[in-house]
């Protein structure tokens, strides 16, 4: 078996509650040929001090301000040396065989650009992690209405997701990339859009990798655990959406605004026009429902429209760059879309 160097890149901002669990799991991997890089986003808690004092094997990079998760990953990527790169969040705990299994998946085919773990949920109880059999994600899917879904989210791991398969895209908690794929996915020198900052960077990158011809593979033997601070189950009915209003209110307004705009920027930059036209009725119905929901329950998000219009010409320019490098057909992309839901 090939044993290339793996760069495990952790970006942290005020993660003192989780960072020991995360890094302990990294250094307990059965796969030993790793380098661990940590970018501290100007944390105001003890995150940086914990790494400095307790994890001497880490290569530490310090930011002067919080630049966001994926810009931090971009910075670490430029300094890392691995043939494969894991972009890990501080609230993730890896199974001991996670990296070893991921490398075996990459070894199957040089066209595999990213590997998605079977990511389950964990929670903190009395200062200790409790691991569950509830799935957090097995990767991204899209509906014909262009609703982004974490497949499997909130479902019991009962065996239905025990088959390796090609997916639309890897989710951002702990994706593992082939370095060559990230390099090929750069647009204007970045694989993470510098205008996104906080939300949707992983969705944008995942779509672009598929568009550029890289296969993204979900493998059930690659296991990780994610402590998701927002939703733990999928909203599939109107009632579910209303019950989640309280949870939504706990998410910072700035992030909810970026959720709205960056999701639409990702569609604008990466979607084939023919697919947009074919699915336009589904898209318009969903956008109308989202508008009504926002108007009545989160009207502050409507102010994001000004930023959206300001950045739109820039996104259209990036669309031209992205589409000039597309390597798959519109039908191939369309094969990942599922029946429209709210």
Flag whether 45 is in a domain: yes
218 part of a folded domain: yes
Residue 168 included in any domain: yes
What are the pLDDT digits (tens) for 252-278? 888 899 999 999 999 999 999 999 999
What's the pLDDT at 241? 52
Number of domains comprising the chain: 2
CA distance 221 to 162: 8
My answer on whether 215 and 251 are in the same domain is no
pLDDT band at 239 (very low <50, low <70, confident <90, very high): low
238 pLDDT above the threshold of 60: no
Q: What is the span of the domain harbouring residue 334?
A: 238-338
Q: How far apart are the first and last CA of the chain?
A: 45
Which of 175, 195, 226 corresponds to the end of one domain?
226
In CATH, what number is assigned to the domain containing residue 63? 3.90.550.10
The proportion of the chain whose per-residue pLDDT surpasses 70, expressed as a percent, equals: 93
At 115-171, the pLDDT tens digits run 999 999 999 999 999 999 999 999 999 999 999 999 999 999 999 999 999 999 999
> Whole-model pTM?
0.92
Say whether both 199 and 303 belong to one domain. Answer: no
Last residue of a domain, one of 226, 258, 291: 226
């Amino acid at each position: 078996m090939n044993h290339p160097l793996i760069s495990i890149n952790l970006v942290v901002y005020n993660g003192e509650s989780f960072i020991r669990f995360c890094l302990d799991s990294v250094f307990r991997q059965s796969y030993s040929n790793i380098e661990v890089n940590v970018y501290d986003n100007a944390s105001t808690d003890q995150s940086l001090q914990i790494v400095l004092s307790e994890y001497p094997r880490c290569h530490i990079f310090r930011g002067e301000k919080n630049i966001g998760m994926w810009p931090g990953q971009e910075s670490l990527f430029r300094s890392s040396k691995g043939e494969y790169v894991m972009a890990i969040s501080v609230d993730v705990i890896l199974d001991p065989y996670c990296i070893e299994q991921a490398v075996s998946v990459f070894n199957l085919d040089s066209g595999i650009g990213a590997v998605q773990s079977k990511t389950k949920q964990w929670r903190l109880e009395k200062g200790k992690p409790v691991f569950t059999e509830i799935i957090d994600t097995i990767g991204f899917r899209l509906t014909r209405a262009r609703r982004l879904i974490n497949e499997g989210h909130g479902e019991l791991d009962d065996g239905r997701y025990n088959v390796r398969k090609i997916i639309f895209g890897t989710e951002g908690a702990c994706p593992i990339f082939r370095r060559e794929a990230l390099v090929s996915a750069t647009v204007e020198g970045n694989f993470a859009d510098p205008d996104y900052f906080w939300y949707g960077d992983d969705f944008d990158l995942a779509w672009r990798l598929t568009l550029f011809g890289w296969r993204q593979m979900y493998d059930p033997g690659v296991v990780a655990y994610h402590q998701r601070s927002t939703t733990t189950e999928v909203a599939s009915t109107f009632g579910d959406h209303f019950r989640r209003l309280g949870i939504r209110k706990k998410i910072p307004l700035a992030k909810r605004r970026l959720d709205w705009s960056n999701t639409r920027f990702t569609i604008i930059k990466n979607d084939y026009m023919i697919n947009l036209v074919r699915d336009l009725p589904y898209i318009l119905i969903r956008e109308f429902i989202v508008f009504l929901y926002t108007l009545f329950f989160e009207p502050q998000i409507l102010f994001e429209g000004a930023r959206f219009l300001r950045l739109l010409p820039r996104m259209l320019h990036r669309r031209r760059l992205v589409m000039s490098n597309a390597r798959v057909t519109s039908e191939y992309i369309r094969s990942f879309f599922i029946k429209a839901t709210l």
